[in-house]
Amino acid sequence: MDVKEAINKRRAYRSLVPVEITEEIIEDLARCAQLFCSCFNNQPWRYVFVYERDMLERMHEALSSGNEWARAASMIIAVFSKPDLDCLIRDRKYYFFDTGMATAAIILRATELGLVAHPIAGFSPKKTRAILNIPDEMEVITLVIVGKHSDRLSPVLSEKQIAAEKQRPERLSLSEFVYRNKYRE
């Protein structure tokens, strides 16, 4: 699979079946983040790969309602960082950008490995920190829900989520976010 194919294949599926998570998979994904670019090579990203059954179950209490489907995760990757781990140039903070880019590399590689890697914002950072022993000063940015896509719809999905499962949610047209040479309202 080339990059373009992985970009096209990647979907935020919510119907998941279990998949075996091996040390090789974790290391493979982590190495993709490791190689990503960052401001001054600061590498601000931090990850907890949660895959032990009891820890996964404890993470269920950190999920927001509407994300019940994520209880079927075979792995949850907690993504966290803090501003002073990366460039702070006046009011420009790069830790979110760099951590996002490295996490995109993980998501695309997971796609290539035949996995679903679905980031979510619907979770409690406070509960996540408590469960995973992440220090308070760290910002938990997202949880990436990892599993294998199931053809059978998850029974906990809403109508909207079912629709998104069948068809990729619509995107802005290029003319709505691409400008040539100069920004225009």
Ligand X SMILES: Cc1cc2nc3c(=O)[nH]c(=O)nc-3n(C[C@H](O)[C@H](O)[C@H](O)COP(=O)(O)O)c2cc1C
Binding site for ligand X (CB under 6 A): 11-12, 14, 67, 119-122, 142, 164, 168-169
Closest separation in Å from C-beta 38 to ligand X: 19
Q: Which is nearer to ligand X, 120 or 140 (CB)?
A: 120
Closest separation in Å from C-beta 106 to ligand X: 13
Residue 148 forms beta bridges with which residues? 17
Q: What single DSSP character describes residue 91?
A: T
H helices, E strands: number in the chain: 7, 7
* 184 φ, ψ (degrees, to nearest 5): -130, 140
Structure tokens at 89: 């140039």
Structure tokens at 37: 């670019």
- Residue-wise DSSP of 49-99: EE-SHHHHHHHGGGBPTT-GGGGG-SEEEEEEE-GGGS-EETTEE-HHHHH
Query: Residues with Cβ < 8 Å from 1, sequence gap 6 or more?
Result: 9, 111, 112
Q: Which is nearer to ligand X, 126 or 168 (CB)?
A: 168
Closest separation in Å from C-beta 10 to ligand X: 7
Closest separation in Å from C-beta 22 to ligand X: 25
Task: For residue 154, give Cα distances in angstroms to 59, 84, 167.
Answer: 19, 40, 15
Q: Which is nearer to ligand X, 81 or 142 (CB)?
A: 142
Q: Which is nearer to ligand X, 19 or 141 (CB)?
A: 141
Q: Which is nearer to ligand X, 177 or 183 (CB)?
A: 177
Closest separation in Å from C-beta 114 to ligand X: 16
